[in-house]
Amino acid sequence: MATDQARSEQHEETYEQFEERITRISNVGNAAGILRWDQEVVMPEEGTPARAQQLSALSSISHELLTADETGDLLEELESSDLGDEQRAAVREVRRQYNRETSVPQELVEEISETTANAHPTWKQAKEEDDFEQFAPTLEKLVELKREYAEHIDPDADPYAVLFADYEPYLDLETAERVLERLREELVPLIDAIQDSDVDLATDTFAGEFDDDDQEALARDVLDELGYDWGRGRLDTAPHPFSSGTQFDARVTTRFEEDDLLGSLTSTIHEFGHANYTLGLPDEAYGTPLGDSRDLTVHESQSRLWENHVGRSQPFWAQFLPTVADRFAELEDATPEEAYEAANQVYDDNLIRVEADELTYHLHIVIRFEIERDLISGDLEVEDVPEVWNDKYEEYLGVRPETDAEGCLQDIHWSHGSFGYFPTYSLGSVLAAQLYAAAEDDLGELDDRIEAGEFDDLNGWLRERIHQHGARYTTPDLVEHATGEAYTADYFLDCVKGKYGELYELEEY
Amino acid sequence: MATDQARSEQHEETYEQFEERITRISNVGNAAGILRWDQEVVMPEEGTPARAQQLSALSSISHELLTADETGDLLEELESSDLGDEQRAAVREVRRQYNRETSVPQELVEEISETTANAHPTWKQAKEEDDFEQFAPTLEKLVELKREYAEHIDPDADPYAVLFADYEPYLDLETAERVLERLREELVPLIDAIQDSDVDLATDTFAGEFDDDDQEALARDVLDELGYDWGRGRLDTAPHPFSSGTQFDARVTTRFEEDDLLGSLTSTIHEFGHANYTLGLPDEAYGTPLGDSRDLTVHESQSRLWENHVGRSQPFWAQFLPTVADRFAELEDATPEEAYEAANQVYDDNLIRVEADELTYHLHIVIRFEIERDLISGDLEVEDVPEVWNDKYEEYLGVRPETDAEGCLQDIHWSHGSFGYFPTYSLGSVLAAQLYAAAEDDLGELDDRIEAGEFDDLNGWLRERIHQHGARYTTPDLVEHATGEAYTADYFLDCVKGKYGELYELEEY
């Protein structure tokens, strides 16, 4: 008994040391997050050289703290201890990160970092000049380096699966592939049917020119409406909208384009979903995995739930359109139904992922996924990317890019060396539908609540089922815990078939 | 010969390691600087708990890097090497910091940090409730802790001199005391004479109510005019204006009060002076003492030079008043002479340091200096501070505070444990006058240049003589280098006697 108690006190002490160490690492990472926000939002343009050095110093310090022998010793000691569930989960998360970071040689990390730093301007210029060949050697180098990186982490695993796990560590690649394949199989005919439909949606509801300042006021309106916590947040503009921060300070950025009121509004709602997740993480677990968000699939489920299931819904437009008309008199005569249709039109000629509608979006993702998976496996050569890209666009979406700038050069991700990131966009949207269905099941009448502008219950449900757990559960366990079911694309497909079947009056849906 | 070369290569390698280490420390410090700017300017109000942890983590990391054995070993090796002047100067600066930080036990650092963290709200409440006794025990504790701190750094030195050296390491305390005593001796009769003068200056030139947005536009005008580099800077508002950053990104903050256009404008010019110094530090030495500013005396000389010698001068108002009138029609009929008089009136009833004019300001400083010096030496007990404070105000300035809130509780500094900071405000103003006189001597016709809105030559002179050297020279050497003379209060006293003698028509001046 005395021995047990002594042992247990020993564990407590070790766990405290562990917590202190990982909290310090988190604090360094969160400081870097503020520096990146600053860089995107407020930094003077010539601040880059110093900022790059500051970020690189913080990243090295964080890496050294994580991969130090002391971290390894603490992990080993805790893994052989009798820990509670929460502590065990925190140890699991840090162990995963520790194993990955200790297995990749520092020189390779630095080479990747240097190559991506140079890749960005190369990609940008290649895109501007519509010249894939300028970017090809860099892309080839990055593919090679990331293969090598994956090999260090797990020489026995499919390298693409290893890379994918950097963004989504717990849904295995088979699951991801199965879901993406199913999306392709079921969405391609749905989109075909839509393109064959004679229905004309009210697509010009939001046509016009809209002043930036008024758009900003409206963005604040919608954040107020959804319940954004301004005491812990703020809204700014950035060229590529993002949200970042911690449960004490989770900020939203958006952008305003004079001729795209709807795009700005949905982007703001999307980023609200991310920030709102962060704000729901438990205060008391700040600095540990229990106070940190689950990975990208879950994060994207939160942004897509608010963007698509709330912000593109009929009851939302019934409720919010008058607020829009208060800011923009030209919308006074628009009906909620017209706004709903405009927010849900499916484009038949769009080549650009970030401008895609809710439905075709996933085929943009499937194409990138198939290409990057084959690049990493070696089944596809870099030089063949443009043609394969264009063929797939023709096959899945019925449009063929005429230039690489609006084809395979459109996205920044590969210049960052981010192979395996794209799938989480679709996996998150799929999860959003599953969560929304479960919330409807539990709470009932979500449509009525949204139409009444009542978001507290929905948000309370998300807080309880998802946010407050931080990274305690793995993704599959979290989904199971939140919905009572395994992760599935059923709800997403039911949802889009129902919605678009009705909108476009498709008999077979 | 071969041995010499091998030794020299060895030195180069050691110096590179040293540079890498201190640059990392700088980068961590500069990251913390951004976090503090963020906290003052843009952070949501509930972000504090996480921000405090982030700043504390960065501060510990920086302390650990600096005081590590590796730093000591590198310093020793370099000190016994044959270094060039610049390298030797960098080593001197780091050695100083290393010695100070390694001599104070970490527990004491933490106790001071904890005590000051709690002292701030205690001071604030005591000030709000005008109750010195609430703050007295904390002040006593801080005096004790800082005495102990000084004892660790140098048990043989005057503890106040040790504390003073945290803010101004190279002008010794005797010099500082001599200058402050002289200011008291010569300014008290000058102020008396002004108070006896029958001259009425045009003091209500800037009376009125001025819109914040227009004030901001005017602040941008004046920064444009002075040549602020917007590519490496920005202007924001903060409750207590400050400037911060590096040569790549040096930001200004200011504040706007509806009824104090002149106060905001001079505050903006003051902070411009600080930021402009930082922007003049050499890019290539970023991260080392050669790319970092000299300490507080020199920094304050830069802000005061622009604030007082430019911004409160006749030619400045001749040049800038039309711009003010463009923003504020109510000033259309004001004359430059009236603006000049308003900017230079001497108050005969002001108790508050931050609202003081250029002249009485220094007596506010002298009083604080005398009191804190005696507190640290033990010649003055904390309980006697309010009475001594009030007596000195009566004696030096002819006004007696009726409350401690507008007396010894007015400033925040002691609650930070910052004993020894105040003198640098006056020492910097004194240096500003010396530098301005030397620039006039070298360039000639500064009045004409200012009246023509030409600031490039003056700024070029400051860049060459002060900014570009970073912390290469000690303060006395830098002054000698820039002006050809030792640090002296002569120019300051000549300058204010001439200016105020003329303004107030004082025969004896």
Q: What is the mean pLDDT of residues B174-178?
A: 97
Q: In this model, does residue B1 exceed pLDDT 70?
A: no
> Residue A376: is it exposed, middle or buried by C-beta count within 10 angstroms (0-12/13-18/19+)?
buried
| Cβ atoms of A255 and A241 closer than 8 Å | yes
Establish if A86 belongs to a structural domain. Answer: yes
Q: Which residues contact B333 (CB under 8 A, 6 or more apart)?
A: none
What secondary structure letter does DSSP report for A252?
E
- Tokens representing residue A285 in the block: 């677990």
Q: Based on the structure, what is the number of domains in chain B?
A: 1
Cβ-based contacts of B61 with chain A (< 8 Å): 24, 28, 61
A384 Cβ under 8 Å from any chain B Cβ: no
Return the pLDDT at A13: 93
The secondary structure element, H or E, covering residue A237 is strand A235-237
Residues of B recognised as catalytic: 271
Contact check, Cβ <8 Å, A49/B283: yes
Q: Tell me the pLDDT band of B507, cut-offs 50, 70 and 90.
A: confident
CB atoms within 10 A of CB B10: 12
Q: What is the mean pLDDT of residues A245-257?
A: 97
Establish if A40 belongs to a structural domain. Answer: yes
pLDDT digits (tens, 9 = 90+) for A173-228: 999 999 999 999 999 999 999 999 999 999 899 999 999 999 999 999 999 999 99
Would strands A249-254 and A243-246 be described as parallel, antiparallel, or unpaired?
Answer: antiparallel
pLDDT digits (tens, 9 = 90+) for A400-437: 999 999 999 999 999 999 999 999 999 999 999 999 99
Coil/strand/helix, residue B115: helix
Establish if A97 belongs to a structural domain. Answer: yes
Return the pLDDT at B197: 94
* % of chain A beyond a pLDDT of 90: 94
B243: nearest Cα among B202, B280, B278, B201: B278
| Optimal mutation site among B22, B24, B34, interface A, most CBs of chain A within 10 A | B34
Q: In this model, does residue B6 exceed pLDDT 80?
A: no
ipTM: 0.95
Establish if B28 belongs to a structural domain. Answer: yes
Contact check, Cβ <8 Å, A34/B30: no
Dist CA A236 CA A43 (whole Å): 13
| Cβ atoms of B420 and B149 closer than 8 Å | no
Q: Tell me the pLDDT band of A2, cut-offs 50, 70 and 90.
A: low
Range of the domain at B59: 1-103
pLDDT digits (tens, 9 = 90+) for A423-476: 999 999 999 999 999 999 999 999 999 999 999 999 999 999 999 999 999 999
Chain A's closest residue to B230, CA to CA, is: A44
* % of chain B beyond a pLDDT of 70: 99
CB atoms within 10 A of CB A178: 12
Dist CA B79 CA B414 (whole Å): 37
Q: Over the range B440-469, which residues count as b (16 or more CB within 10 Å of their CB) and which as e?
A: beeeeebeebbbeeebeebbebbbebbbeb
Q: Tell me the pLDDT band of A56, cut-offs 50, 70 and 90.
A: very high
What secondary structure letter does DSSP report for A308?
I
pLDDT digits (tens, 9 = 90+) for B402-438: 999 999 999 999 999 999 999 999 999 999 999 999 9
Q: Tell me the pLDDT band of B9, cut-offs 50, 70 and 90.
A: confident
Would strands B249-254 and B235-237 be described as parallel, antiparallel, or unpaired?
Answer: parallel
**Which of A:212-271 have CB within 8 Å of B?**
230-234, 246-249, 251
Q: In this model, does residue B5 exceed pLDDT 80?
A: no
Cβ-based contacts of A61 with chain B (< 8 Å): 24, 28, 61
Chain A's closest residue to B34, CA to CA, is: A35
Contact check, Cβ <8 Å, A231/B28: no
| Cβ atoms of B58 and B25 closer than 8 Å | no
Strand segments (E) across B112-239: 235-237
Cβ-based contacts of B45 with chain A (< 8 Å): 231
Return the pLDDT at A507: 87
Q: In this model, does residue B49 exceed pLDDT 70?
A: yes
Cβ-based contacts of A34 with chain B (< 8 Å): 34-35, 38, 54
Return the pLDDT at B2: 53
A82: nearest Cα among A138, A181, A6: A6
pLDDT digits (tens, 9 = 90+) for A139-160: 999 999 999 999 999 999 999 9
The single residue listed with the structure tokens 């539990």 is A442
> Tell me, what amino acid is at B133?
E
Return the pLDDT at B509: 84
Contact check, Cβ <8 Å, B54/A35: no
Establish if A487 belongs to a structural domain. Answer: no
Establish if B246 belongs to a structural domain. Answer: no
pLDDT digits (tens, 9 = 90+) for A63-77: 999 999 999 999 999
φ, ψ of residue A503 in degrees (nearest 5): -60, -45
Dist CA A466 CA B265 (whole Å): 51
Return the pLDDT at B3: 67
Q: How far is B29 from chain A (nearest CA, A)?
A: 9
What crossing angle do the helices spanning A296-304 and A475-483 adopt, rounded to 10°?
40
| Cβ atoms of B415 and B285 closer than 8 Å | no
Dist CA B182 CA A336 (whole Å): 78
| C-alpha B110, offset from chain centre | 26
Q: What is the mean pLDDT of residues B450-461?
A: 97
Cα distances (Å, whole numbers) of residue B184 to B164, B189, B434, B498, B508: 19, 9, 18, 17, 18
* % of chain B beyond a pLDDT of 90: 94
B278 Cβ under 8 Å from any chain A Cβ: no
CB atoms within 10 A of CB A229: 15
Q: What is the mean pLDDT of residues B272-285?
A: 98
Residues of A recognised as catalytic: 271
| Cβ atoms of A32 and A59 closer than 8 Å | yes
| C-alpha A66, offset from chain centre | 25
Dist CA B349 CA B398 (whole Å): 8
Q: Which residues contact B9 (CB under 8 A, 6 or more apart)?
A: none
Establish if B33 belongs to a structural domain. Answer: yes
Q: How far is B229 from chain A (nearest CA, A)?
A: 10
Dist CA A203 CA A181 (whole Å): 30
Contact check, Cβ <8 Å, B46/A283: no
Dist CA B246 CA B282 (whole Å): 10
The single residue listed with the structure tokens 């994580």 is A66
Return the pLDDT at A117: 87
Contact check, Cβ <8 Å, A57/B31: yes
Cβ-based contacts of A28 with chain B (< 8 Å): 54, 57-58, 61
Return the pLDDT at A431: 98
Q: In this model, does residue B35 exceed pLDDT 90?
A: yes
The secondary structure element, H or E, covering residue A344 is none
| Optimal mutation site among B42, B45, B288, interface A, most CBs of chain A within 10 A | B42
Q: In this model, does residue B40 exceed pLDDT 70?
A: yes
Q: Tell me the pLDDT band of A264, cut-offs 50, 70 and 90.
A: very high
Pairwise pLDDT comparison (A348 vs B488), residue with the higher score: B488
Q: In this model, does residue A1 exceed pLDDT 80?
A: no
Question: Which sign does the torsion angle of CA A275, A280, A286, A291 carry?
Answer: negative
Establish if B49 belongs to a structural domain. Answer: yes
Q: Which residues contact B149 (CB under 8 A, 6 or more apart)?
A: B104, B108, B112, B162, B163
Q: In this model, does residue B350 exceed pLDDT 70?
A: yes
pLDDT digits (tens, 9 = 90+) for B204-248: 999 999 999 999 999 999 999 999 999 999 999 998 899 999 999
Percent helix, strand and coil across chain B, each to the nearest 5: 70, 5, 30
Dist CA B142 CA B250 (whole Å): 32
Q: In this model, does residue A4 exceed pLDDT 90?
A: no
pLDDT digits (tens, 9 = 90+) for B248-268: 999 999 999 999 999 999 999
Dist CA B417 CA B424 (whole Å): 16
